[in-house]
Amino acid sequence: MPVILGIESSCDETSAAICIDGQMLSNIIANQTIHEAYGGVVPELASRVHQVNIIPAVQQAILLAKVNKNEIDAVAFTRGPGLLGSLLVGVTFAKAFALAKDIPIIEINHMQAHVLAHFIGDNKPEFPFLCLTVSGGHTQIVLVKDHFDMEIIGQTQDDAAGEALDKTSKVLGLPYPGGPLIDKFARQGDPDRFKFPEPQIPGYNFSFSGLKTSILYFIRDNEKINPNFIQENIADICASVEKRVVTILLNKLKKAALDHGIKTIALAGGVSANTGLRQGIQQLADEQGWKSFIPAFQYCTDNAAMIAIAGYYKYLKGEFTGQDVAPLARMPF
């Protein structure tokens, strides 16, 4: 019955979780609101706030799980990819805690952990499955053959899907991060009111920079005619942008699943919190007679529960990491 402490600090969420024998007992997430004023994550500030939040987050995770810190068998931590200064806080905490308790550490790839969030709880997908991982920094279609046997078969050639939503929201004058706000407005709007282009990219790859530019020009041109264009049409703009992003993502996922003969599709990453995308993947699965998996809301955006569950599977395999480990801003699978 291994007790795993999971630590996540790759971007702007400081998170700690406790998992016992694969069951998640706590998942504390400290959000950093300081970046709102800057319209994006400021790496130096993120790292400083992680330093303030890391110990309280771990203390709360331990308290909520009702375990004794001496019962923890291993510390799993995000080694990368992410912001170096942010990763460094989590990596250093994990190493120091493990050294003090004389327990092993387990390095985790953040993008693999997003996929492994599907293994928290009882409703687990069967291998092989295709996972569409969409976050503020990544857009990937991952062929998942086993817990740690994953292959990226498609990815974005420029901006990530979340980045496209966040940049659109900036143009609309909404605060960062804009994804959740676009989701909120989109629920009240008409998704067919405005048409945005679908890029023609070969294979299973994506491109969002053209869409971003077309949204920018569309807003600018309409504001020239009507200075109140955004205020008067915000719900329809958000609904139409969201619809285009969702169709770009799901058309590629559908193509990849059909070509590979795979009948299980899944979502992961922060953008999988999006209502339109969640409904869309379910609809696609229903139409095709496939199974679809969407993580619980709290396991979609960055969280330590996904790090703890990934750590649990590595613990079972006896895959531990040396104390000389350093974080990686880029980290292939």
Least Cβ distance, residue 224 to Zn ion (angstroms): 37
Does residue 90 bind ligand KG4 (CB under 6 A)? Answer: no
Which residues inside 110-169 make contact with ligand KG4, applying CB under 6 A? Answer: 135-137, 162, 165-166
d(C-alpha 308, C-alpha 28), whole Å = 12
Of all residues in the shown chain, the one whose CB is closest to ligand KG4 is 270
d(C-alpha 43, C-alpha 65), whole Å = 31
Q: How many residues does the chain have?
A: 333
d(C-alpha 95, C-alpha 97), whole Å = 6
What does R_g of the chain's alpha carbons equal in angstroms?
20
Least Cβ distance, residue 244 to ligand KG4 (angstroms): 13
Least Cβ distance, residue 236 to Zn ion (angstroms): 30
Least Cβ distance, residue 1 to ligand KG4 (angstroms): 30
Q: How many residues bind ligand KG4 (CB under 6 A)?
A: 20
311: tokens are 């750590």
In the bound state with ligand KG4, the residue whose beta carbon lies nearer, of 39 and 180, is: 180
Of 176-184, 231-239, 255-263, 313-321: span binding ligand KG4 (CB under 6 A): 176-184
* Contact residues for 141 (Cβ-Cβ < 8 A; gap 6+): 130, 131, 132, 133, 152, 153, 154, 155, 204, 252, 253, 256
Is 166 a known ligand-binding residue? yes
Q: Would you put residue 173 in left (φ > 0), alpha (ψ -120 to 50) or beta? A: left
> Residues in the site for ligand KG4, rule: CB under 6 A?
11, 135-137, 162, 165-166, 177-180, 182-183, 269-271, 273-274, 301-302
Q: What residues are designated binding site for Fe cation? A: 110, 114, 302
Q: What residues are designated binding site for substrate? A: 133-137, 166, 179, 183, 274
